[in-house]
Amino acid sequence: MQYDYLIVGAGLYGAVFAQQANERGKKVLVIDRRPQIAGNLYTEDVGGIAVHQYGAHIFHTNDEKVWKYITRFADFNRFINAPVANYKGELYALPFNMYTFNRMWNVITPLQAQAMIEKQKREAGITVPGNLEEQAISLVGRDIYEKLIKGYTYKQWGRSCKELPAAIIKRLPVRLTFDNNYFNASFQGIPRRGYTEMIKAMLKGCTVKLNADYLDNRAYYDSLSEKVLYTGAIDAFYDYRFGALAYRSVRFETEDLPMENYQGVAVMNFTDSTTPYTRIIEHKWFTFGKDEKGSAISHTVISREYSEEWKVGMEPYYPVNDELNQALYVRYSALSERYPKVIFGGRLGEYRYYDMDKTIAAALQKAAEVLDR
């Protein structure tokens, strides 16, 4: 065997595990079917702007251990996510806070806002929310649900709010303050030189091979190493034996525009059901409109995001963790006992939604379990 570990996928989970293995003196080969490293974190310099090619990624965590780990490989700026919701030209603050409630109901104080929410909850007659619609109304009232949640959610998931579980909306920050910081996190920001450079630093000392599809040449790659960490889709690994798991995919429409400022904010969500895209990202604002040298950038790059139902051959982004698909995943996961050489990890390998900090924590834990035996 040429290597101790073969890492399939040069994204965040794979990079963390590879770094930990290399740090412990293991010989590591990292392969990826794409022509670049970093997975969906991949950022590309476009005229001084670090463009997030696979959607916006804003690092945030309350886990100090994770923060200390990841800042070994990148210097982070102090970007705070304060997105704006656009409903047919009406602009609202996200997260839902006193600016939102003032714009929606003309209320001034937290007591007035809370009273309006409670009034709408009583009118809806919701005691125990049974789906996303009921959960949303119980959190912020019917008016905000109708304008800022209902249409956006349908576009994002391709399903009505009545068909989705209440748990999805529990991640939504709601505040009776004027705090515009979307994430309630002690540590947050974006790597000053982009995520690609961060992943490159993590993979230092590892052998990296790109344009290499593990599933197309599995026997060959398996012969190269003692163990395999697989971060691709678990259903694809098993050739969709029980059928494909459900995912949402995202299509990006990116433009380089000859203007300094397109929308004045990094993230703008379009919450009506008629606008075909879910949001527009203006990438330069992730670095405050400046390049690496601190100089102002005279152009801008925007990306419109279109959420789509995934089909085999498309890029899977978000697992649809409903009961049917979770049961299907359990069947696939049970097959792993037949493949003791392979470790499954990451969002696709474990069929679960991971924020970046949770991805790092999970990879560090798995590395400790496997490498420190």
Question: Which domains can be identified in the chain, with CATH numbers?
Answer: 3-78+187-245+319-371 (3.40.50.720), 84-171 (no CATH)
Other beta carbons less than 10 A from residue 241's beta carbon: 10
Amino acid 196: pLDDT: 98
pLDDT computed for residue 106 by the predictor: 98
pLDDT exceeds cutoff 80 at 173: no
Q: Is the pLDDT of residue 193 over 80?
A: yes
CA 97 from centre of chain: 23
Active-site pick, 32, 133, 197, 305: 305
pLDDT tops 80 at residue 170: no
Look up 143 and say whether it is catalytic.
no
- Whole-angstrom distance, CA of residue 320 vs CA of residue 325: 7
- Alpha-carbon separation of residue 282 from 60, 190, 300, 305 (angstroms): 19, 14, 7, 11
Catalytic residue among 45, 213, 322, 355: 355
Average pLDDT of 13-23?
A: 98
Quote the DSSP letter at residue 244. P
Q: Are 74 and 191 in contact (CB under 8 A)?
A: yes
Active site annotation includes 353: yes
Asked about 175 being catalytic, the answer comes back as yes
Q: Region 247-258: what's the mean pLDDT? A: 97
> Is it the case that residue 63 has pLDDT exceeding 80?
yes
The rounded distance, in Å, linking the Cα atoms of 335 and 355 is 26
Active site residue 373: no
pLDDT of 86 reads 98
Residue 59: enclosing H or E segment and its boundaries? strand 59-61
From the candidates 78, 122, 171, 338, which is the catalytic residue?
171
Catalytic residue, chosen from 134, 152, 175, 195, is 175
Q: What is the pLDDT of residues 334-343, one digit of tens each?
A: 999 899 999 9
Residue 21 — very low, low, confident or very high, per pLDDT cuts 50/70/90? Answer: very high
Whole-number percent of the chain with pLDDT over 70: 99
Cα 131 to chain centroid, rounded? 23
Q: Which of 4, 6, 363 is nearest to 209 (CA)?
A: 6
Report which of residues 298 and 139 the model is more confident about.
298
3-class state of residue 348 by DSSP = helix
**Alpha carbon distance 276, 304 (integer Å):** 9
Catalytic residue, chosen from 195, 221, 248, 317, is: 248
Mean pLDDT along residues 263-285: 98
Examine the residue annotation and report whether 64 is marked as an active-site residue of this protein. Answer: no
Residue-wise pLDDT for 81-126, tens only, equals 999 999 999 999 999 999 999 999 999 999 999 999 889 988 988 8
Q: What is the mean pLDDT of residues 354-359?
A: 96
How many Cβ atoms from other residues are within 10 Å of residue 41's Cβ?
24
| pLDDT band at 138; cut points 50, 70, 90 | confident
What pLDDT was estimated at residue 172?
A: 64
Select which of 5, 42, 87, 279 is catalytic. 279
Q: In angstroms, rounded to a whole number, what is the distance separating the alpha carbons of residues 349 and 368?
A: 18
Q: What pLDDT, on a 0 to 100 scale, did the predictor assign at position 168?
A: 78
25-50 pLDDT, tens digit per residue, is 999 999 999 999 999 999 999 999 99
Is residue 50 within 8 Å of 287, Cβ to Cβ?
yes
Alpha-carbon gap, residue 141 to 104, rounded angstroms: 11
Confidence of residue 346 (pLDDT cuts 50, 70, 90): very high
pLDDT on residue 337: 87
Residue 224 exposed, middle or buried by CB count within 10 Å (0-12, 13-18, 19+): middle
